[in-house]
Structure 1
Amino acid sequence: MSMKRIVMLGSGGVGKSAITVQLVSGHFVQIYDPTIEDSYRTNISVDGETVLLDLLDTAGQDEYSALRDQYMRSGDGYVIVYSITSMASFLEANSFREQLFRVLEKDFSEHIPIALCGNKCDLESERQVFTEDAKKVADDWKILFYETSAKNKTNR
């Protein structure tokens, strides 16, 4: 069985932990408790093969950016999470992308497996980031794009 490490990146409070815990244990974490670093493992099936997924849930706060460099070096893939209810978190997504390319010593023409994930789509009435705008950014960056709700277990 192969193992893949996925590093969750994004600003504080966007739902990185909620997405991770929902995927691994199937329940929604309602209360925000800022993460420094948590690692979760679960088996998933990819193209009929079982893969051990090691999810590294990282701190979104700036004071932990040095730790984030270390986490970034260890990843096989990356999910940059923002909240659809926070334009600031969406704008900060590019900073996480730039930091990732800098840490991995890559230029933007090189491929790194990244997904941009807009979380909290259950809060549609509070939306500040339009799906079309985020999709355009993901297309420009040549990465995957999803919107999700860790609370409602939905992806689109």
Structure 2
Amino acid sequence: MAAKGKAQQPAVIHKVIMVGSGGVGKSALTLQFMYDEFVEDYEPTKADSYRKKVVLDGEDVQIDILDTAGQEDYAAIRDNYFRSGEGFLCVFSITEQESFQATAEFREQILRVKSDENIPFLLVGNKADLEDKRQVSIEEATQRAQQWNVQYVETSAKTRANVDKVFFDLMRAIRSRKMENAKQSNGKKNKKDKKKKCIIL
């Protein structure tokens, strides 16, 4: 076997968590993104995890998606999911006002676990193909996104509208977050190094 000149760097993994009420289309969005197929009737059972290699702005990365069931009965399990995530797609259905109201609770739970206001987070209004059944106006959703200082995107798992966009936008947010954190920790290291160098003999 010929030795490769350059060792392959393992692809960076971006961990995405899908949150939202049951039945808003989290699994449909995930499966559409993963396999390019629309699954109408998905059995909401347990949380499912998916991994896919994608090219993000010319860089090979892996996206790790945890599709939560929406009705996690145990707060401890839910908190563990949230702890492991680097970014969140908070999904509601534009045809269901209740699911939109529930997003506030999901955001609160995430912020409680992550204790970080600027966690990569997208508010996603799914089922945009059902415009005639719309209960949540674009204005209302945009206003909430502005309050939270996050991006709002409407998707349709059925027509695939904006499906890739939400996953890729979130990965970009996660990536820039990681870069920021790396810079900060480097800054701290450098400060320590400087201190070490000032030894008076």
TM-score category, normalised to shorter length: over 0.9
Output the amino acid matched with 2:154.
Answer: E
Q: Does 1:17 align with 2:8?
A: no
After TM superposition, the runs of 4+ consecutive aligned structure 1 residues lying more than 4 A away are none
The answer on whether the counterparts of 1:36 and 1:64 sit within 8 Å (CA) in structure 2 is no
Output the amino acid matched with 1:14.
Answer: V
Deviation (angstroms), 1:64? 4.5
Q: Which consecutive unaligned segments of at least 5 residues does structure 2 have?
A: 1-10, 166-201
Name which of 100, 122, 142 aligns with 2:129.
Answer: 122
Q: Decide which moves more: 44-53 or 82-91.
A: 44-53
Name which of 102, 106, 119 aligns with 1:112.
Answer: 119
CA distance, structure 1, for counterparts of residue 56 and residue 149 of structure 2: 22
Output the amino acid matched with 1:101.
Answer: L
What corresponds to 1:136 in structure 2?
A: 143
Deviation (angstroms), 1:120? 0.4
Instruction: Specify the SS of the correspondent of 1:50.
Output: strand
CA distance, structure 1, for counterparts of residue 161 and residue 41 of structure 2: 19
The answer on whether the counterparts of 2:19 and 2:68 sit within 8 Å (CA) in structure 1 is yes
CA distance, structure 2, for counterparts of residue 154 and residue 19 of structure 1: 10
Output the amino acid matched with 2:147.
Answer: D
Percent pairwise identity? 50
More strand by share: 1
Instruction: Specify the SS of the correspondent of 2:73.
Output: helix
Larger radius of gyration: 2
Instruction: Specify the SS of the correspondent of 2:155.
Output: strand
Instruction: Specify the SS of the correspondent of 1:145.
Output: strand
What corresponds to 1:153 in structure 2?
A: 160
What corresponds to 1:95 in structure 2?
A: 105
Q: Does 1:78 align with 2:49?
A: no
Change (3 A) 1:92 1:32: same
> TM (normalized to structure 1)?
0.93
What corresponds to 2:179 in structure 1?
A: none
The answer on whether the counterparts of 1:8 and 1:80 sit within 8 Å (CA) in structure 2 is yes
The two structures, once aligned, show a CA RMSD in angstroms of 1.3
Deviation (angstroms), 1:62? 5.1
CA distance, structure 2, for counterparts of residue 133 and residue 98 of structure 1: 19
What corresponds to 1:53 in structure 2?
A: 63
More helix by share: 2
CA distance, structure 2, for counterparts of residue 76 and residue 62 of structure 1: 19
State how many pairs are aligned: 153
Output the amino acid matched with 2:87.
Answer: G
CA distance, structure 2, for counterparts of residue 82 and residue 35 of structure 1: 18
Q: Which consecutive unaligned segments of at least 5 residues does structure 1 have?
A: none
